[in-house]
Amino acid sequence: MIDLTLAEVASATGGTLHLDGTDASPQTVVSGTVTTDSREIGHGDVFFAKRGEFDDGHRFAPSAAEQGAALLVVEHPLDLAVPQIVVADTVDALGALATEVVRRVRSHGRLKVVGVTGSNGKTTTKNLLRAILQGHGATVASRKSFNNEVGGPITALELTDDTEFLVAEMGASAVGEIARLVKMAHPDVGIVLKVGLAHAGEFGGIEQTVLAKSEMVTGLAAHEVAILNADDPRVSSMAERTAARVVWFGLGERADVRATDLVVHARGTEFTITVPDGPARTSAVARVHFGVLGEHHVMNALAATAAALELGVPLADIVDALERVTLAERWRMQLMGGRDDITIINDAYNASPDSMSAALKTLAQVRAPGTRTIAVLGEMSELGEFSGDEHDRIGLLAVRLGISQLVVVGQGARRLHITAINEGSWAGESAFVETADEAFDLVVSSVRPGDTVLVKSSNAAGLRLLGDRLGEWFA
């Protein structure tokens, strides 16, 4: 975090400073890492005692103090000899402090902010942008999937006076949450990747999802840029909701930044990228050897390219950065294994109907002639009323793609298994198990040399660790 006095932090958060029993004064400066996790606290850091659904961060404040916290932000005074700021709500205070830090860095620096949202692809696009931008200036980007009302501010609070680029992943499970993050960081460039059924159960339907995702661009001004998916009608409709200049990305002719001539293989995707070049809007073209597995990740690369171009990065530098990225993020289309030519694709960090479909299509595309494909699938969570139909659809897709073997894990995904059987009249091609351990035993006992195994589920299903286990077993 940038240098701030205790008085300035109290003012920014609307809190009351308590210094009893300490040697600090209102002018004492803090500049350490800001966190809500007491396990991450080091000397000079700032701890926000957040109340959670199952626990209360105030219980861990003594541990934070012992580990050297310079400041505790709390909702009631604690009997600890550490400077404390008492606020009404620590999450609101965290966002308020982040808003002030972004404002200060903007006011005396060259900071540009890119916001990224969408039902799928946020983390991949954010990571690609970080890889591109860090060669052109000090860059801060969300760690892991820090994209909510806590992770967003914590990311923004990593800014320093020298930061030139902030790439802020912005997620939501309800209308108004992205608007809150946009108000905090106010992007110069706002990206909307896709609107699908991810979290549709929480949003209350697809139209509410569209409304929530459009919050990325509705507040942008005419001198700012909205980067929109030309191939997704729900996203392209957002052009009518923004005053910003729109830049389109996609696979069709409408797109300003587009990909053609895609070739998908087991080590990534090759494509030709075409982008606007100069004030005359002529085109520049390059061939990209993109090492991130899955054709669907090409759209994320196009979105990142469009944003980087708007920030002044030359196309050649963008292509070079894209070609150096081989993994979007752990547990996202992560290639593992290798023994006996057995490939494990661990894509079990999260799953929606769109990402599940894309992963299955990739599995079918990368299979070598004469080899088999095995899909180990768990539940797609947070779909609400759409859950049954969408699990049916994935079961049908697996059959129609000719996946050699399905292993369906957990009661939440069982309908997928039943649908696959009904569609294909299979004799054992789809197996249902209750646990990840059973799935591991089944795969290990049935896999053959040359097989490609996909592990895919929502985070809540916990299959990412199964993917790791299989990857290590077949390493």
Q: What is the pLDDT of residue 173?
A: 77
Instruction: Check: CB of residue 426 under 8 Å from CB of residue 318.
Output: no
119 has binding-site annotation: yes
Bridge partner list, 141: 167
In this prediction the pTM is: 0.90
120 annotated as ligand-binding? yes
pLDDT of residue 280: 60
CATH of 109-324, picked from 3.40.1190.10, 3.90.950.20, 2.60.40.10, 1.10.10.10, is: 3.40.1190.10
Alpha-carbon span 76 to 356, nearest angstrom = 45
The answer to whether residues 378 and 351 touch, using CB atoms and an 8 Å cutoff, is: yes
Domain ranges of the chain: 4-89, 109-324, 334-473
Is position 122 annotated in a ligand binding site?
A: yes
72 HSE (CA, 13 A, CB side) = 31
Give the integer Cα–Cα distance in Å for 370 and 135: 43
pLDDT of 204: 64
The yes/no answer on whether domain 334-473 falls in CATH 1.10.10.10 is no
Instruction: Report the C-alpha gap between 403 and 390 in whole angstroms.
Output: 18
Q: Is 123 annotated as a binding residue?
A: yes
d(CA 333, CA 425): 30
Give dist(CA 407, CA 430) in Å, integer: 6
Q: What is the pLDDT of residue 161?
A: 94
User: Annotation-wise, does 50 bind a ligand?
Assistant: no
The whole-number mean pLDDT for each consecutive block of 10 residues of the chain, a chain of 475 residues, reads: 97 97 97 94 97 89 97 97 97 97 92 95 94 96 84 95 96 87 96 79 74 94 97 96 97 96 90 86 90 93 98 96 88 89 92 91 92 95 88 94 95 94 78 96 95 93 92 95
Residue 422 annotated in ligand binding: no
Residue 414 buriedness (CB in 10 A; 0-12 / 13-18 / 19+): middle
350 is in an annotated binding site: no
**4-89 and 109-324 have identical folds:** no
Question: Taking a C-beta distance cutoff of 8 angstroms, is the pair 170, 152 a contact?
Answer: yes
Q: What is the pLDDT of residue 106?
A: 95
Please tell me the class of the 4-89 domain. alpha beta
The neighbouring-strand residues paired with 257 are: 249
